[in-house]
Structure 1
Amino acid sequence: MSSERLRRPAVPRSLRLGETTVTYLPDGAVQLSPLGWLRGSTEADWRRYADHLDADGYLTGSIGGLLVERDGRALLIDAGVGPVTAPAVPGARVGALTGGGLPASLAAAGRTPADIEAVAFTHLHIDHLGWAAHVPAGAGRPFLADAPYLFAGPEWRERAHAGDEGPGDAVLAALEPFVRTVTDGEEIFPGVRVRLGAGHTSGHTTYEIDGGDRRLLAFGDVLHSPVQVGHPEWYADADADREAATRSRREVIGRLSEPGVVGFGGHFADVVFGRVAPGQDGPVWQPVDA
């Protein structure tokens, strides 16, 4: 793959899965400290994987949502971070953060908030909730409030324990009127099912999208970087249960190695769609663009 794509935020990209189309909708990006975020990695590792690091030495984490369309209907998975900007702080595990592009991305895909019949969330971290809680000036209600907000039951029940990346009370209050909880295996949209996999958070959710000859796993923050495909033992500093999160990574990597299975990694720089393929030193992320 082009090393440039590993270092830049994702642009809008679409895949066809049978009768279903999935489209990545950019909202912004965040810089992640490789040593501060991916625990277990070393400076020597990052000399080897220097092609994943930007000019400031950070991993590039894209932020956005996944639009799922079928038979004229539309579902959104995750809602970006919202219209926020934060500078890098020396020594912090997170560098510069920018957001705000999702409304324009949605419009460019030919959709309005009113077209979205549900917003399904992988988990309760702020970089996945943004536009579900943000109230535009003069609107009186959140940008995506025409739709119910779907959370796995364990995730919503344990919302007070989402960690440092979790929402505060004001965001939870903004979300609550629209929340509907869902269960493992539930079909929430034609061909889209809930698959629970605790570890990153209590009820972290992967969404399995069946497209007939291909299926896609939208695996949220089970993995934060393509480099983890070859190093599932590198856990994210934000993982609530590191052992469970590592088990989830290994499980998802195994699924993505199966024929016809594609993954969506929302933080995977500009290689958000891909599959797991054999590499010289172990499994690697292979971008899929069509």
Structure 2
Amino acid sequence: MDITRRTFLHGAGAGLALGGLGAPRVWAETSLTFGTLQVQTLSDGHLVLPPDFIFGPMPQAELAPLLAERGIDPLSPLTPDCNVTLLRDGARLVLFDTGAGNAFQPTAGELLTALDAAGVAPEEVTHVVFTHGHPDHLWGVLDDFDDPLFAEAAHMMGRAEWDYWYNPETVNTIDSGRTAFAVGAKRRLAMLEDAITLFDDGEEILPGIAARATFGHTPGHMAFELRSGSDSVMVVGDSIANHHLAFARPGWNSGSDQDQETAAATRTLLLDQLAHEQTRLIGFHLPDGGLGRAERDGDGYRFVPETA
């Protein structure tokens, strides 16, 4: 299994920055090759989130020293990376999630730039596979004219996730702070209705790609095991959504999860499996391109990024 990492300079103003007039965005694209598969993580930018969006439901007295140990200011915005996974396997070019597009946050929606840096045109993508329907994973599926961006691709989503976001009642039952999530998801999925393939837990959705139910962050969230021979990597989406508390205290409820108790149980079981089997993982919001391992660390775990 071979790992490489390249550094790119991109983003609005990058050209000016070279002349000293701005601050470019620098990010690492990580590539992992095993068997017939080549996996790349591509940056869609990053989010800006209030701390309470994750830390709000956690036990505050126990939380404070853990944040201090990790140099995290509990009053400062969180800026998690957004890593889209691209799989090359012969003639197949499979994209896991599509990023945020241009309608969510101005710091995200950079997938097209990242694909261009990787030498990939949108029409070359053969399959788009969604982990779940949140804006930073789904909203980039449409272009600036509200047409499917990956027009030549087959689109795939877990059945439970599709049913949840496509249900017209979801907008009335979801937490009021996420109403826009439901409206945006329904509009985009309606555009894909004739091109979508649904699947269930445990299915091999494409050769070498198995779906794994990781419910809780959303009602039908899916992870995917990519396997070639004896090697594998798990695309975990947002089932492990950050590199600090999600690893150190996986059983704590996180405000980012829609069903917090289910998500915590899912996260704990998944981390136990990944650490025990030493399976590599790719997390959508993990640092350094998102690729690494989970290792036991006392009562919890820690994220160990892969290096070339």
| TM-score, with structure 2 as normaliser | 0.79
1:33-71 CA-partner distances (Å, limit 9, x unpaired): 333323315276345334464797233211241101112
The SS at the match of 2:41 is strand
Q: Whole-Å Cα distance in 1 between the matches of residues 258 and 75 of structure 2?
A: 28
Report the aligned-residue RMSD. 2.5
The SS at the match of 1:244 is helix
Aligned partner of 1:135 in structure 2 is: 143
The SS at the match of 1:224 is coil
Aligned partner of 1:230 in structure 2 is: 248
Indicate whether 1:255 and 2:273 are aligned.
yes
Shift of 1:287: 0.7
The SS at the match of 1:208 is strand
Alignment of 1:96-135 (within 5 A): 98-132=107-141, 134-135=142-143
1:208-248 CA-partner distances (Å, limit 9, x unpaired): 11133431111111121111111112323242222211111
State the structure with bigger RCO (CA 8 A, min sep 6), 1 or 2.
Answer: 1
1:70 pairs with one of 77, 89, 105: 89
Shift of 1:153: 0.8
1:82-127 CA-partner distances (Å, limit 9, x unpaired): 12464xxxxxxxxxx5223111211221211222111000011111
Which is richer in helix? 2
Runs (5+) with no aligned partner, structure 1:
1-7, 87-96
Aligned partner of 1:284 in structure 2 is: 302
Q: Whole-Å Cα distance in 2 between the matches of residues 273 and 54 of structure 1?
A: 25
1:128-161 CA-partner distances (Å, limit 9, x unpaired): 01221x2234xx7221122121111111112133
Runs (5+) with no aligned partner, structure 2:
1-24
Residues 52/127 of structure 1: CA separation in 2 closer, same or farther (3 Å cut): farther
Q: Whole-Å Cα distance in 2 between the matches of residues 142 and 283 of structure 1?
A: 39
Letter in 2 for 1:135: D
Q: Whole-Å Cα distance in 2 between the matches of residues 285 and 71 of structure 1?
A: 31
8 Å CA contact 1:12, 1:24 repeated in 2: yes
Letter in 2 for 1:106: L
1:256-290 CA-partner distances (Å, limit 9, x unpaired): 10344011111113351111113356421111134
Percentage identity across aligned positions?
A: 30
**Which structure has the larger Rg over C-alpha atoms?**
2
Task: Tell which deviates more after alignment, 22-31 or 176-185.
Answer: 176-185
Q: Whole-Å Cα distance in 2 between the matches of residues 114 and 184 of structure 1?
A: 29
